[in-house]
Amino acid sequence: EDKVVQSPLSLVVHEGDTVTLNCSYEVTNFRSLLWYKQEKKAPTFLFMLTSSGIEKKSGRLSSILDKKELFSILNITATQTGDSAIYLCAVDHSNTGKLIFGQGTTLQVKP
């Protein structure tokens, strides 16, 4: 059965800390892995990863994929209270566009 597992499920840190969120997957015919940030409402797109070892970076956020070990990490450096959100990992398999989502990691950044 295809599945995506995120860890930890929740995390509380203080401003300025660095956090690492994990996403492991078992899917047939992997095509891409996506990270989304969800605050009050709609998930907003962060990264799409298709190749191993190539880091994607946007400001204080970065992500990398390991297709051999079947996982991805999302790093956030110098966290701010505005980073508080649910971070979702999803995998697209077989080029179907049908994403399989993990449970999400709820991050709370305290002042």
Partner 1 sequence: IAGITQAPTSQILAAGRRMTLRCTQDMRHNAMYWYRQDLGLGLRLIHYSNTAGTTGKGEVPDGYSVSRANTDDFPLTLASAVPSQTSVYFCASSTDRGDTQYFGPGTRLTVL
Q: Which residues bind partner 1 (CB under 8 A)?
A: 4, 31-32, 34, 36, 41-45, 48, 88, 90, 92, 95-104
Burial degree of 25 (CB within 10 A; 0-12, 13-18, 19+): buried
Identify which of residues 42 and 111 has a Cβ nearer to partner 1 in the complex: 42
Q: Could you give the CA distance from residue 19 to residue 37 in angstroms, rounded to a whole number?
A: 14
In whole angstroms, the minimum distance from the beta carbon of 90 to partner 1 comes to 8
d(CA 56, CA 34): 11
Q: Which is nearer to partner 1, 9 or 78 (CB)?
A: 9
Q: Which two tokens stand for residue 57?
A: 């970076």
Torsion angle of the four alpha carbons 68, 45, 39, 66, in this order, in degrees rounded to the nearest 10: 10
Our CB check for partner 1 shows the closer of 15 and 45 to be 45
Minimum distance from residue 94 beta carbon to partner 1 (Å)? 9
Please state, as a whole number, how many other Cβ atoms lie within 10 Å of the Cβ of residue 41.
Answer: 6
In the complex, the smallest distance separating the C-beta of residue 8 from partner 1, rounded to whole angstroms, is 14
Which of 73, 99 has the CB closer to partner 1?
Answer: 99
